[in-house]
Homo-oligomer: A and B are copies of this chain.
Amino acid sequence: MANEVSYSTFDVERLRQFTIDIFLKMGVPANEAALAADVLIKADLRGIDSHGVARLSGYVRLWQKGRINPTPNVRVVYETPSTASVDGDAGLGLVVAPKAMEIALEKAEKVGSGWISVKNSNHFGIAAYHALMAIEKDMIGMSMTNASPLVAPTFSTERMLGTNPICYAFPAGKYPPVIMDMATSAAANGKLEIAQRKDVEVPSGWIQDAQGISTSDPNGLKKGGSLLPLGSDRDHGSHKGFCLSSIVDILSAVLSGASYGPWVPPFVAFLDPLENQPGQGIGHFLGAMRVDGFRPASEFKSNMDNWIERFKSAKTSAEYDSVIIPGEPETQAEVERNQSGIPLISVVVEDLKCLSTKLSVEFPKEL
């Protein structure tokens, strides 16, 4: 039996102020509290509800556990003109990642591209936020991160990798940027959480049980199962999803000196990190490339427009109107929600109200 889910809608700027106020209560400096809130609100605006203010109390709990440093000294550890590794000093990923991306953009400005591997960080919100920072400078942006282990490699029953997202953002001319922002698992954990809340079965191929058998039980993960890599099974290329997730893990963590694989510190505060960590915190990998390091930006953007138009007009099967250009639904959500406000489901509203009481921060009224 499917559960009903109810929504309330909130004014964007009031929800933003509430989020800033919570970060301020954690001792985060004002400019960084505004930045962290901007990353979360951006997720809610773009319809990635699982990565917006729904996670705010999760960050607070990590801070209360002493696992998030509200005043980190984010610093470069090694560098060349086009690369660097950064120590996030256990700060909020929401602050560390944009700071690291700024370094990537500076390097790209000077030598054509910039690539930053980050250690000792925490959950960085939506990958698209950081990649999008490149767009207004006519650069291509890239971001990825490793994450709490939930995904089993092909043939395995053990949670060895996170949903390890990859994001690329490409500027276009007259159209919005093309943005690929994707978990490397068959389904993002956020989708599973929605199915759990609604108590509906999930498609086979999303998760497996503790014995490695595909299950449609939305609570299969809580019963010792694991998420499956993109491809779902060996016949359909799950080894490729495993490869993609591994690329993210290595570039984000083995390259920076963060923890990797099953050692990635869990996002949930009630699970302690494993002992004998091989690195520090979670890792990100961020990059930027100047388009005019390859060809004039106007030519690139004109070809991007043509690419978008050609794919948008590709023939479809009977039940669909058109191909969806990567990033199109999120860009549309951002336009709509900027006007009509951010809808939050009741469990998130209740959670934020508790947080509001606990930290004595006023919670906005719904619209």
Which residues of chain A have a CB within 8 Å of any CB of chain B?
77-85, 111-113, 115, 117, 140, 152-158, 160, 168, 170, 178, 180, 182-184, 186-187, 203, 205-206, 211-213, 230-232, 235-237, 239-244, 246-247, 249-251, 254-257, 260-262, 278-279, 289-295, 299-300, 303-304, 306-307, 310-311, 314-318, 320, 322-324, 326
Bound: A184/B241 CA distance, A: 10
A80–B178 CB distance below 8 A = no
A323–B250 CB distance below 8 A = no
**Knowing A178-B246, A260-B303, A261-B307 touch, does A80 contact B290 (C-beta < 8 A)?**
yes
B78–A292 CB distance below 8 A = yes
A294–B111 CB distance below 8 A = no
A275 CB → nearest B CB, Å: 14
Bound: A103/B292 CA distance, A: 18
Bound: A240/B317 CA distance, A: 19
Contacts of A257 in B (CB 8 A): 295, 299, 303
B294–A83 CB distance below 8 A = yes
A160–B307 CB distance below 8 A = no
Bound: A84/B143 CA distance, A: 21
Contacts of A117 in B (CB 8 A): 294
A82–B84 CB distance below 8 A = no
* CB nearest to A238 among chain B residues: B230
Given A84-B293, A232-B232, A250-B304: 11 more A-B contacts, CB < 8 Å? A81-B81, A156-B316, A170-B254, A184-B240, A186-B236, A213-B317, A236-B236, A239-B326, A250-B307, A255-B294, A261-B307
Contacts of A82 in B (CB 8 A): 81-82, 111-113, 293
A255–B155 CB distance below 8 A = no
A84–B203 CB distance below 8 A = no
**Knowing A157-B316, A303-B254, A307-B254 touch, does A237 contact B247 (C-beta < 8 A)?**
no
Indicate the member of A85, A205, A231, A299 with the most B CB atoms within 10 Å. Answer: A231
Contacts of A80 in B (CB 8 A): 111-113, 290, 293
Contacts of A256 in B (CB 8 A): 294-295
A317–B211 CB distance below 8 A = yes
Contacts of A203 in B (CB 8 A): 235-236
A191 CB → nearest B CB, Å: 10
**Knowing A112-B83, A113-B82 touch, does A255 contact B211 (C-beta < 8 A)?**
no
Contacts of A290 in B (CB 8 A): 80, 83
A232 CB → nearest B CB, Å: 5
Contacts of A255 in B (CB 8 A): 140, 291, 294-295, 300
